Structure 1
Amino acid sequence: MNLWLLFGNRVGDNKQILALADAIGLPFAVKQLRFNRASALPNVLLGETLASVTPDARSQLAAPWPDAVIASGRRAVPAARWVRAQSGGATRLFHVGRPWAPLDWFDLVVTTPQYGLPDRGNVLSNLMPMIAADAAANGVDLDAWSRRFAHLPRPWIAVMVGGNSRPYVLDAAAAARLGRMAGAAARTAGGSVIAVSAPRTGAAAFAALRAAVEAPAYFAEWGKDENPYAALLKLADRIVVTGDSAAMAADAARSGKPVTVFDLPVRQGLRGAFGGAFRAAADRLPPLRPAFDALVDLGLLTSVRDLGAYHRALREAGLLDGGDAAAERQRLEIDRAAERARALLER
C-alpha cells in the first residue's frame, strides 16, 4: 500500500498532511500542487477534475494510483477526487481541516473546532492540529538565545504576534492594547516582554505594540531581526499569542508554558457574517442545528472559522494551563487519526 500527499502552498497544511502520513506508517510520495484561476470556483461546480491545477502539477498525477490521498484545504479537493475517479473508486480520500465540500465525498475528515463541522461518522474532531511536536525548535541554538536575553529580568513573557487573517484584524489600536497588557503583566511579575512578529504583522501594528510596552523588553520584527519564535517556545516562562492563528496557539500550548490568548477585533464580510450568524443561531436554538449541519454537510454553507470556539475548547480542556497535557493530547489524537485511516485502508 502507498499514499499520495497533495501539498498546496500553505506550510501549516502541508505539515499536518505529513504528520498524518508519518503516523499511518506507509510509503508515500509528495505531489506538489500549483493552482490556476479555475481554483477560485466552488468545489461543487468543479467536480472531479484537474482543470484547476497547472500543467506541471497534472504531470505528477499518473498511474499507478495510490491506495489513499491525503490533502488539505479547499483547492486540493477536485484533484483528489480526480485521482479516486481514475482508480475506479479504489483510492481512499483523507482530508485535513475543512474541505469546503460535501462531507460524504471523503472517507475521513480530520478537523478542529474552529471550522464547526457537523458530527458525522467520517469526521474526526481533534483539539490539536497534527504538527509534529518540537518541529519548530529543531536546529535552534537555545544557548545563544539565552545569552541574548540574559540581561532581561525573569519571568520572560513571550508575545507572539500574528496579523490580519480573515476575519481577524490586528490594527495599531489592537496592537497597542496588547502592548499595554503585556507590559502590565511584566511589571506586576517583575519580569520582561519578548515580542516577536510574523510575516503578516503590519509594520504600523508592531510599532504601536513596541511603543505601548512599558517594561524591560526585546523586540524582533519579521524581516528585520533574527526570529526567536522557536527558541521562545522553549525558553519563555509564559506565552501570549494573538487570536488569529490556531497553529500559533497550539505551538504555545504544546510548549508546556501557561498561555494567554489575546482576542483580536473581528470584521466579517457578507458571506462570513451570514454563515457565522446562522452558526450562532444554531448553537442557541437546537431546532436549527439539523438545517445548519445539513447545509455544511452538502458544502453549501461554510462559516468563517471561529477561533474563539477553538481557544475556548483548548481552555476548557486545560491545555492552556501549562504542563504536558497539550503535547500528550496531540500525540493521542494523531495516533487516533492514523488508526482510523489504517482501518479504512484495510477494509
Structure 2
Amino acid sequence: MEVTADRSALSIWVVSDGRAGMENQALGLAEALQRLLPSEITIKRVRWRAAFDKLPSSLKAPWMLDPSADAPFPKAGEAWPDVWIATGRATLPLSLMVRRRSGGKTFVVQTQDPRWQTGDYDLVVAPHHDGIEGRNILSITGSPHRISSDRLAEGAAGFADVLEPLPHPRVAVLIGGKSRAHDLPEAHAAALADQIAGAIETAGGSLMLTYSRRTPEAAKAAMTARLAHVPGLIWDGTGPNPYFAFLHFADQILVTEDSANMAAEGASTGKPVHILPMVATKPADKFARLHQDLRNRSTARPFDGRLETWTYEPLNETERAARAIIERLQA
C-alpha cells in the first residue's frame, strides 16, 4: 500500500504484523519523516506460519512466513528501500536480514525494545521507560505515533456536525482494558464512570468516549450506562473511528493508565491529560516511569475527580526521532 508515489523520493518501508497498535508506531515515524523529506511509504504486513511463530527469532527463515504475508525483500531487479521501519517481535529476524542482505543500502530502524540483538540495528527508537541504552538507541517519551495537527484536522472533518456543537469543556475519555499489568473490573469501571460524570457535570461540559478492543464487555456496559445521560458521544465501535476527531475537539483528555500509546498521543496535542487509575494485577514499573516522565514534562497528572486546566509545550517525540534518522542518514 503506497501513501505517495514519487520515484525520486526517499523510499520507506513500514513493516509490522498488521495490528493497528504496532503498525501505527512504524507508520507514524515514517509519516514524520515524510513531513520533513519527500518520501514514498510502502506498508508491509508480515506473519509467520503458526507452526513457526513461537520459534526464537534466531531460528526463523523467510520460507517460514505465512503465504498471506507481504514479501519482505525486493523482487529481482527492484531496489532496496532507503529506510526500513519495523515494529514488533514478528519483524525482528527480517529487520536484521534486510540490513545484511542490502549490503548497507537500507537503514534499518526498529521501534520498541527488541530484546534480541539490540545492538545490531542501525537505530532503535525505544520508549524511555524501557530503560535501554546503547550507541544505536534513541530513547523517547512514549512511542512513535501518527498524531499531527493536519491528521487531527482531517479526522475531525467527518465528525464536525456532531462534535463542534457540544458544550465546553469537551472531554475526550480514552478507555483501555485488560492487560498483563492492569484490569478494569465492572465495579471499578462503574466507580470511574461516576467520577467522570461528576467532573463533566460540574464543569458544564460534554463527553467524547471511546473504548479499546481490550475493554471488557462488562466494564464497557457499566460505563456506558452511567455516562449515557452526559451530553456528548459514546462511540459504539460501528462506523468511522472518531479517535482523531475526539483529540482534535477535546479541551481535556482522560486516558486509562494501561496505555502508553494513548497517553503519549494525548500529550502531543498540548491539552491537559489526566491519567485514570485502573486495578493493578502485577507491578507496572514501566508505566509508573512513563507517567512520571509525563508529569515531569507537565503534560499529564493523575485524575482526582476534577478537570484542571494547565498549559505545556506539546510532546513532539515522533518528529525528534524522525530528525535523528535524517541526521544518521546524512552522516
TM-score with structure 1 length normalisation? Answer: 0.75
SS of the aligned residue for 1:30 comes to strand
Aligned residue number for residue 8 of structure 1: 17
Question: How far did residue 87 of structure 1 move?
Answer: 2.5
Deviations along 1:299-338, whole A, 9 cap, x unmatched?
xxxxxxx223212211211123654612xx31xx334323
**Do structure 1's residue 57 and structure 2's residue 69 form an aligned pair?**
yes
Contact 2:256/2:278 (8 A) holds in 1: yes
Q: How does 1:225-304 map to 2 (within 5 A)?
A: 228-268=242-282
Say which structure is richer in helix: 1
Gaps of 5+ in 1: 281-305
Corresponding residue for residue 43 of structure 2: 30
Q: Residue 179 of structure 1 corresponds to which residue in structure 2?
A: 193
Distance in 1 of aligned mates of 2:245 and 2:70: 39
Q: 1:7 to 1:19 in 2, by over 3 A?
A: same
Distance 1:193 1:84, change over 3 A: closer
2: CA distance, partners of 1:219 / 1:339:
37
Say if 2:160 is the partner of 1:143: yes
Q: 1:313 pairs with 285, 293, 296, which one?
A: 293
Q: How far apart, in 2, do the equivalents of 1:126 and 1:235 lie?
A: 26
Cα distance between partner residues in 2 of 1:139 and 1:214: 24
Distance 2:43 2:206 in 1: 43
Paired residue for 2:139? 125
In the alignment, the residues of structure 2 paired with residue 226 and residue 58 of structure 1 have an alpha-carbon distance, to the nearest angstrom, of 26
- Give aligned-pair identity as a percent: 32
Specify whether residues 204 and 122 from structure 1 end up closer, same or farther in structure 2 by C-alpha distance, changes over 3 A only: same
1:342 aligns with 2:330: no
Q: Deviations over 1:255-311 (max 9, x none)?
A: 33222111222324xxxx7xx7xxx6xxxxxxxxxxxxxxxxxxxxxxxxx223212
When residues 52 and 343 of structure 1 are mapped into structure 2, their CA distance, relative to the original with a 3 A threshold, is farther
For residue 296 of structure 1, what is the aligned residue in structure 2?
none
Aligned to 1:112: 127
Query: Could you tell me which residue of structure 2 aligns to residue 298 of structure 1?
Result: none
The alignment covers a number of residue pairs equal to: 303
Work out the CA distance in 2 between the residues paired with 1:165 and 1:111. 20
Q: Deviations over 1:172-209 (max 9, x none)?
A: 12211211221232243344444332333222102222
Question: Which structure 2 segments of 5+ residues have no match?
Answer: 1-9, 301-308
C-alpha separation in 2, matches of 1:140 and 1:127:
26
Mapped to 2, the partners of 1:242 and 1:235 lie a distance apart of: 19
Q: Which has the higher strand share?
A: 2
Give the conservation status (yes or no) of the 8 Å contact 2:46–2:90: no
User: Which position in structure 1 is the counterpart of 2:59?
Assistant: 46
Give distance in 2, aligned partners of 1:87 and 1:207: 51
Residues 1:257 and 1:50: Cα distance change in structure 2 (over 3 Å): same
RMSD across aligned C-alpha pairs, in angstroms?
3.0
Task: Compute the TM-score of the two structures, normalised by the length of structure 2.
Answer: 0.78
Q: Is the 8 A contact 2:44 2:71 kept in 1?
A: no
Distance 1:212 1:133, change over 3 A: same
Q: Determine the C-alpha separation between the residues in 1 that align with 2:229 and 2:94.
A: 52
Helix, strand or coil at the partner of 1:55: coil
Any conservation in 2 of the 1:183–1:192 contact (CA below 8 Å)?
Answer: no
Deviation, 1:77, is 0.7
Q: Residue 112 and residue 52 in structure 1: after superposition, are their counterparts in 2 closer, same or farther (change >3 A)? A: farther
What is aligned with 1:166? 180
Deviations 1:3-60 (A, max 9, x none): 43223212233233233334443445333323322232232x436x324522353645
The one-letter code matched in structure 1 to 2:67 is P
1:259–1:322 CA contact under 8 A, matched in 2: no
Distance 1:90 1:146 in 2: 47
Assess if the C-alpha contact under 8 Å between 1:239 and 1:258 holds in 2.
Answer: yes
Which has the higher mean CA deviation after the structures are superposed, 161-170 or 191-200?
A: 191-200
